[in-house]
């Protein structure tokens, strides 16, 4: 149905201004439409058609916006996963700090030793330690012991034959430190207050990994305690009896590794001694059991109980 706009005031008995306002409202709602060829003519549109014309585009825009929102959520979800992985990686990095430079390692050791409050646990494999290293350790250890810090250290048996190490142990023991020795290899370790630990970098012996992760540090402390129970007190004087006891303990450990099939180099490395010294011990073992070669020695060592407390390699009473 079409009507002329100019006829509306007279038809409805309303002022032209009010009618013009109503027309604008109805045009905006799509309930009236103007003809392109005759602007003064208005066509009445049904509400259903008007709703379709007006709401349809809006509905499409809403659907498009919802799709955009869903896509943003998907992208943010992927970023959230990356964020969580980054947090985990950062926490792990904070839990383990890699220090590759020896000077930086020494600086961090000095820092932590100066701040230690209760306890220091140390395991030092490799036999005798260089005098320079012992001198550096002496300064840190004296200061900590003077503050009442408990200090326990494990060396290998072979360290007992080093005069420099013996002098160091005598001085530290006099100040209250506890020092023991054990035969087989163990990891180099320093633990401060059971909260932070230093271990060697497997691919850079001059460096260290500084570990703060509580679970990892706890594991290291438990490993130290197991070795501590098996270790024996470091003798403050190595006389004939002590030397025999150490030598026999060393030979017993070497026997266990010979039975396991370790070669001379591997045994020497684990025992903290030179290959030549290791071979001397192996020759003495072979002589004592009457073996002509390593093959026969391996057979005899597997057949006889020679590595235990009742074997021939022990100090005499």
pLDDT at residue 17 tops 60: yes
Q: What pLDDT does residue 186 have?
A: 73
Binned at pLDDT 50, 70 and 90, residue 241 comes out as low
Q: Crossing angle of helices 240-259/294-303, nearest 10°?
A: 100
Q: What pLDDT does residue 190 have?
A: 94
Q: What pLDDT does residue 225 have?
A: 94
The per-residue pLDDT for range 143-183, each reduced to its tens digit, is: 899 999 999 999 888 787 778 888 888 888 999 999 998 87
Q: What is the CA radius of gyration of the chain?
A: 43
- Average pLDDT of the chain is 79
Q: What pLDDT does residue 245 have?
A: 54
Phi and psi at 306, nearest 5°, equal: -110, -5
**Assigned token pair, 95:** 């839990």
Q: What pLDDT does residue 30 have?
A: 73
**Assigned token pair, 126:** 């490799």
Q: What's the distance, Cα to Cα, between the start and end of the chain in Å? A: 128
Binned at pLDDT 50, 70 and 90, residue 93 comes out as low
User: How far is it, in rounded angstroms, from Cα 54 to Cα 59?
Assistant: 9
Q: What pLDDT does residue 293 have?
A: 81
The per-residue pLDDT for range 127-137, each reduced to its tens digit, is: 667 677 788 78
Q: What pLDDT does residue 151 have?
A: 94
In DSSP terms, which residues pair with 152 in a beta bridge? 121, 178
User: How far is it, in rounded angstroms, from Cα 179 to Cα 161?
Assistant: 15
The per-residue pLDDT for range 94-130, each reduced to its tens digit, is: 678 888 888 898 888 888 988 899 999 999 887 667 6
- Determine the 3-state secondary structure of 35 from DSSP: coil
The per-residue DSSP string of 241-299 comes to HHHHHHHHHHHHHHHHHHHTT--HHHHHHHHTS-HHHHHHHHHHHHHHHT-SSHHHHHH
- Determine the 3-state secondary structure of 160 from DSSP: helix
Q: What is the pTM of this model?
A: 0.55
Measure Cα distances from 256 to 232, 260, 301, 302 in Å.
Answer: 18, 6, 9, 9
Q: What pLDDT does residue 217 have?
A: 92
The per-residue pLDDT for range 54-73, each reduced to its tens digit, is: 777 778 888 888 888 888 88
Q: Give the range with max mean pLDDT: 46-50, 203-207, 271-275, 279-283.
A: 279-283
Residue that wins the pLDDT comparison between 47 and 191: 191
278 contacts: CB under 8 Å, gap ≥ 6? 254, 264, 267, 268, 271
pLDDT at residue 51 tops 50: yes
The per-residue pLDDT for range 186-211, each reduced to its tens digit, is: 778 999 999 999 998 877 777 899 99
């Amino acid at each position: 149905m079409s009507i002329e706009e100019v006829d509306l005031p007279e038809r409805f008995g309303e002022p032209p201004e009010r009618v013009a306002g109503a027309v604008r409202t109805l045009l905006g709602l799509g309930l009236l439409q103007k003809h392109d060829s005759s602007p003064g003519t208005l066509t009445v549109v049904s509400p259903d058609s008007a709703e379709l014309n007006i709401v349809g585009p809006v509905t499409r825009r809403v659907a498009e916006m919802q799709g955009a929102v869903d896509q943003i959520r998907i992208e943010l979800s992927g970023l959230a996963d990356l964020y969580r992985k980054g947090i985990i990686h950062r926490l792990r990095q904070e839990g383990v700090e890699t220090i590759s430079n020896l000077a930086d390692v020494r600086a961090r050791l000095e820092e932590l030793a100066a701040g230690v409050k209760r306890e220091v646990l140390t395991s030092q494999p490799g036999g005798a330690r260089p005098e320079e290293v012992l001198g550096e350790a002496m300064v840190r250890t004296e200061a900590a012991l003077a503050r009442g810090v408990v200090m326990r250290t494990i060396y290998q048996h072979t360290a007992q034959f080093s005069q420099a190490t013996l002098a160091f142990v005598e001085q530290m023991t006099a100040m209250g430190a506890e020092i023991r020795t054990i035969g087989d290899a163990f990891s180099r370790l320093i633990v401060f207050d059971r909260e932070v630990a230093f271990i060697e970098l497997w691919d850079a012996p001059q460096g260290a990994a500084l570990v703060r992760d509580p679970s990892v540090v706890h594991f290291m402390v438990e490993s130290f305690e197991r070795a501590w129970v098996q270790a024996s007190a470091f003798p403050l004087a190595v006389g004939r009896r002590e030397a025999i006891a150490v030598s026999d303990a060393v030979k017993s450990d070497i026997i266990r590794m010979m039975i396991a099939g370790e070669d001379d180099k591997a045994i020497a490395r684990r025992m903290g001694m030179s290959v030549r010294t290791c071979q001397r011990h192996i020759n003495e073992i072979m002589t004592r059991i009457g073996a002509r070669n390593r093959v026969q020695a391996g057979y005899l060592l597997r057949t006889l109980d020679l590595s235990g407390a009742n074997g021939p390699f022990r100090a005499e009473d």
